[in-house]
Amino acid sequence: MSAPMSTRALRIAVVGVSSLIGAAVIEELRARKFGFAELHALDDARSVGVPVDDEDRKLPVGDIAAFDFSRVDLAFFCGRSALSERYAEAAAAHAWVIDGSAAFRDRSDVPLVAADVNAEALAAIGARGLIALPGSAVVALATVLAPLHALAGLMRVEVATYQAVSGSGRGAMDELAAETVAMLSGKKARGRAFGRQIAFNVIPQVDALEADGASREERRLWEETRRILSLPRLAINATAVRVPVFFGHSLAVHAAFERPVEVADAADLLRRSMGVSLIDAESSAQFPTPATLAVAPDRVYVGRLRRDLSRDRALNFWIVADNVRKCAAHNAISVAHILVNRPQ
């Protein structure tokens, strides 16, 4: 009889290792001392033969098309929808598959999990199976909304997200860097990654616009947040904005509640909530920003917590979280920890 999963080292594959999230997952595995017997770095044919950094050594990259997933117990698919759509379900017949892409988030038969919010959704997963992870902005938002809902009952959420370019991958980061250098040198920005200049600019569109005027990112934000919070009728109004920041999504949130809620009570609860750090107005930090506190990747930071002066039973607050590390890689490893360490 094989040993229980919680007592033996796992065989792990990381798919999409050339992506920002893939690299961050490997770093997170090491940083959190996640025990494993084998680690397979996989990607499509374009990245095969280009080793990735793993502590002080290079990890060779194998071709996912030639890989047999019966060789592993756990596979992380790191944000590339094309790879997930082609290989993730077949891999889930042999292993736990934790998928960070948007490929399976809207499927009712696939758990959608933010580890600090709805870990109970993993109860339906046995010794193998497919788990979807929400988008980074959703993880940040739901992590803060969940305890507030328990306190006072959410009625409506208005949110504007200010999303870092790393949400669009390594090429978008390179574009921001190149445009910044070009413009500071008196040259013209190329504007390729987002169809227009991103350096020194703000673009009120993340992903494609749909027929009703909402963007795909905005639709994902409200649909995934409702699902994670188990609030299918929650009214959410969202605007997603791309900003010239490398790492760290920021969110301006206005939340209305069913019951009266005091700022002091909300603050006390958030200080005790899993995965959340509240920045008090009296602290030296005053409020979180992407360039400061978001570089500590294990928390969702909340600041500017205050009463909404325009209506009763409502709060305003500001959220910042590292989109690649906290909201993607850290969440993925946290889900894996729950799977491995739960009672067998």
- One domain for residues 26 and 145: no
Q: What is the mean pLDDT of the chain?
A: 92
- One domain for residues 308 and 193: yes
- One domain for residues 153 and 274: yes
pLDDT of residue 8: 61
Chain centre distance of CA 323: 5
- One domain for residues 167 and 96: no
- One domain for residues 22 and 141: no
- One domain for residues 196 and 126: no
- One domain for residues 334 and 264: no
What is the Cα–Cα distance from 121 to 295, expressed in whole angstroms? 29
What CATH number is associated with residue 266? Answer: 3.30.360.10
State whether the Cα torsion 78-80-83-88 is positive or negative.
positive
- One domain for residues 122 and 162: no
Domain that holds residue 30: 5-134+328-341
With residue 217 as reference, give the H or E element that holds it. Answer: helix 216-229
- One domain for residues 281 and 159: yes
With residue 320 as reference, give the H or E element that holds it. Answer: strand 314-321
Question: Which residues in the chain land under pLDDT 70?
Answer: 1-8, 55-56, 79, 283-285, 294-297, 344
Selection from 33, 24, 31, 53 nearest residue 322 by Cα: 24
What CATH number is associated with residue 97? Answer: 3.40.50.720
- One domain for residues 115 and 181: no
- One domain for residues 44 and 155: no
- One domain for residues 187 and 307: yes
Spatial neighbors of 186 by CB under 8 A, at least 6 apart, are none
Spatial neighbors of 278 by CB under 8 A, at least 6 apart, are 267, 270, 271, 301, 302, 303, 305
Total domain count, the chain = 2
